[in-house]
Amino acid sequence: MLFNSLIFALFLPAVFGLYWGVGASRWRAQNVLIIAASYLFYGWWDPRFLSLIILSSTVDYLLGLRIHRSEDDVARRRLLIASLSVNLGILGVFKYFNFFVDSARVALESVGMAPPAIALEIILPVGISFYTFQTLSYTIDIYRRKLQPVEEATTFFAFVAFFPQLVAGPIERAKRLLPQFAKERTFDPVVASDGLRQMLWGFVKKVLVADNIAPYVELAFGAHESLDGVALLCGALLFSVQLYCDFSGYSDMAIGMARLFGINLSQNFAYPYFARTMREFWRRWHISLSTWFRDYVYIPLGGARVSSSRAATNVLIVFCVSGLWHGANWTFVVWGLLNGLYTLPALLGNQAVADEVVAADNWLPSRSELGAMCRTVLLWTLGLVFFRSDSLSHAFGFLGQGLSAPWSSSVDHGQFIAPLSLGFGLLVAEWFNRDRPHALSIEAWPASLRWATYMILGLALIIFGSVESRAFVYFQF
């Protein structure tokens, strides 16, 4: 069930009415309703997917209790390994089995062997990487004695399955989100109103910008042999805008939607295209995943508390694993490696990471700040060529075509002006509100101006929004 679908437009108000209709003091009943609604939401794609999320939830709920109650370090470690094995095993079979088998077969064929072709005909469950990481944070934190397990089963199941962020995040930590399901929630009209504004901005990003840009991206990556370097650069830049608007738009919808139910989710994007360095960029892009890898992979490897060469190795390992998390393809590994290499100069030079690009009361960035932001976006866009391509040969073919044919008068470059202007306009709107949680944090505006803005954006969605209901890009991960 897509957020940008008619069925969801009926589903959300119905769940909202039932949720608050049972009474805020009956939070356990609200949790049961959340579980039922979330399973309906998730099962709408394929009811068979429900068995996996129920299995993962059940295993981690029971193992979390046993880990906490055990005083034997060996037993606790074995229980944690059991949790890791079940969750990562499910993820590995459904997402990575064919990738690793095919890679092994190619490697054996390169040395003259002829292994049989083996492949599983299975569908990748939507959002499996997201809820797997969310449940793992629960058992790992209990094992580290940083979290108390929850006794109420419905509280834990609601935490895992909460439908606004179930299939594409943010990836919430148990210690932050779980307590919110273990207490009474109250409806705050001010918070709910701001949640609706954030949802509206998310729809603008997704339906008005990302979906309208998508056909031009498909043109550039699907027919790159017939285009020149300028057109391919436009296509790559448009994909960087599409990916940002698509994914951050989903996060805005999820965060705003959760606020309607009295739940606060973590910020997942902090205007990353205004970052001056790639290290700063990764503090602002997909924050919930970046911090997950920092806390559960990078720091356990030794983090930056080791030698410079070991710290650099740790960074590259984390980025390569992060790349593989995004998809079972060597293109994602190369994308992750490139981003790891981008961040090494700042890490090895102990470069500080700025929290703000420029003071919020300055309308325009300085020349040096603008140059740094453009450089960061271009580096990111180069990496995204591998992220978007079907194979390494496709990515290198795209880049090679751009270098070998930088300009051709037979290519219609004018077709890229409108989508580039659309993406640039959205970034300008975000720039002027970059010190706020989202670009429609306009509660201080006069009521007439606020409502005029809502109506204009609503009409723009109706008139200019993409008529094709496209799935969110990150659903495939």
Catalytic residues, by residue number, are 326
Distance CA 268, CA 273 (A): 14
Distance CA 278, CA 319 (A): 13
Neighbouring C-beta atoms of residue 233, cutoff 10 Å: 18
Distance CA 4, CA 366 (A): 38
227 with 413: CB under 8 angstroms?
Answer: no
Cα-based angle 57, 269, 434 (whole degrees, multiple of 5): 150
Question: Coil, helix or strand for 266?
Answer: coil
End-to-end CA distance of the chain: give it in Å, rounded: 16
Dihedral of alpha carbons 99, 105, 109, 112, sign: positive
36 with 19: CB under 8 angstroms?
Answer: no
User: Before 170, cis peptide (omega within 30)?
Assistant: yes
Nearest Cα residue to 76 out of 62, 63, 87: 63
347 with 315: CB under 8 angstroms?
Answer: yes
Q: Where are the alpha helices (DSSP H) in 210-349?
A: 211-222, 229-260, 278-284, 287-293, 308-326, 330-348
Contacts of 49 (CB under 8 A, 6+ apart): 42, 43, 125, 126
Backbone angles phi, psi at 237, to 5 degrees: -65, -40
Backbone angles phi, psi at 24, to 5 degrees: -60, -30
* 291-297 long-range Cβ contacts below 8 angstroms, 24+ apart: 292/133, 292/137, 292/171, 292/173, 293/318, 293/321, 293/322, 294/318, 296/136, 296/137, 296/140, 297/321
Nearest Cα residue to 31 out of 169, 250, 178, 194: 178
Name the region of 271 (left: φ>0; alpha: ψ -120 to 50; beta: rest): left
